[in-house]
Structure 1
């Protein structure tokens, strides 16, 4: 299995509106941490997640988290 590109070795805090969001799993998106379709032609697919109410959260940019799309601190060991 191919490993995703590390977009950054730090999470990013985002303010999300209610609705469906797509987290970039390949690391190639120019709209990090969200998918922009750059995964096309690869084995990666974005991770869909839903937010019920407006919230601030930390999303992973190293693409190695065990709690996709949320940061779990894995970037600290890269």
Structure 2
């Protein structure tokens, strides 16, 4: 697969409990072994992780298909893949 094509990590979002004030780095390439977060696997690609800083502690749904228009959060795009 070309290094500029994201890999679909899974065709559903990842529900993650986030902590207010904490930053998270979402994997945009789909190659990370620590989905939905970055582990540095993008280094051979044109992708960079997307920083998400939680405003409040709650469950958020991080995109698993890597095609969301609202990345890093899920927008339902996985339902059309």
Residue 53 of structure 1, CA deviation: 2.0
CA distance in 2, matches of 1:12, 1:65: 13
Q: TM-score, normalised by structure 1?
A: 0.93
Residue 14 of structure 1, CA deviation: 0.7
Q: Which residue of 2 aligns with 1:66?
A: 69
**What is the 5 A alignment of 1:1-78?**
2-18=4-20, 19-78=22-81
Residue 49 of structure 1, CA deviation: 1.3
Deviations 1:1-21 (A, max 9, x none): 922000001111110112111
Indicate the larger mover: 11-20 or 63-72.
Answer: 11-20
SS at match of 1:5: coil
Instruction: Identify the structure with the greater helix proportion.
Output: 2
Give unpaired runs (5+ residues) of structure 1. Answer: none
Q: TM-score, normalised by structure 2?
A: 0.90
Residue 52 of structure 1, CA deviation: 2.0
RMSD across aligned positions (CA): 1.3
Aligned residues: 78
